[in-house]
Amino acid sequence: MHFVANTPSHGTRPVTIGWMPVAGSENEFWILVGNQWNTPTVIYDGDKLQRLPSDDFFKQDLTKPDPTDKERTVQLFKLNSNTGTLTYQSLVGEYNRQNGGPCDVKFSPDGTKLAVTLWGVPHFLTAKPILKETRPS
């Protein structure tokens, strides 16, 4: 196998890939790419609390549509293993800022379902999370 070309992920910060064979083909595979975007984070230790990217970011209604939703996506590609060509197929899903972007994508064993786990808003350096600061994944 040799390098063919870079292919855009159609999002920002691709962090996970899922794959499965294309039914009836010996050399083609469906490829899922999860684009996480930037990951909002809350870091605190005792009374020290820092919201990233900023306090103002978290004051917004993170459930409302935003242009950055197009950066937190799952995209579908097709890989030809004979040629090494990866071809973009379609957008599978977009995710709003409240739940963060995909951190894992997988096909079910029979290929009829897709599982996507989201990042949420992680919390680091604390033994006691502050519930009002958490966001579900």
Per the prediction, the chain carries an average pLDDT of 88
Full-model pTM: 0.85
Instruction: Summarize pLDDT for 48-89 with one digit per residue, the tens.
Output: 888 888 899 889 998 899 998 899 999 999 999 999 899 999
Which of 5, 27, 9 has its CA nearest to residue 77? 9
Please determine, for residue 42, whether its predicted confidence score (pLDDT) is greater than 80: yes
Please report the beta strands in 1-137, taking only residues with DSSP state E, as ranges in sequence order.
14-21, 28-35, 41-45, 48-52, 73-80, 85-94, 102-107, 114-118, 123-124
Pairing outcome for strands 114-118 and 85-94 = unpaired
Write the single-letter amino acid at 66. Answer: D
Please determine, for residue 118, whether its predicted confidence score (pLDDT) is greater than 80: yes
* Region of residue 29 (left: phi > 0; alpha: psi -120 to 50; beta: else): beta
- DSSP class of residue 55 equals H
Write the single-letter amino acid at 133. Answer: E
User: How are the residues of the chain apportioned to helix, strand and coil, as percentages rounded to the nearest 5?
Assistant: 10, 45, 45
Residue 97 near residue 66, CB atoms below 8 Å: yes
* Region of residue 47 (left: phi > 0; alpha: psi -120 to 50; beta: else): alpha
* Range in 19-28, 29-38, 39-48, 50-59 the model is least confident about: 39-48
Q: Give domain limits for the chain.
A: 14-128
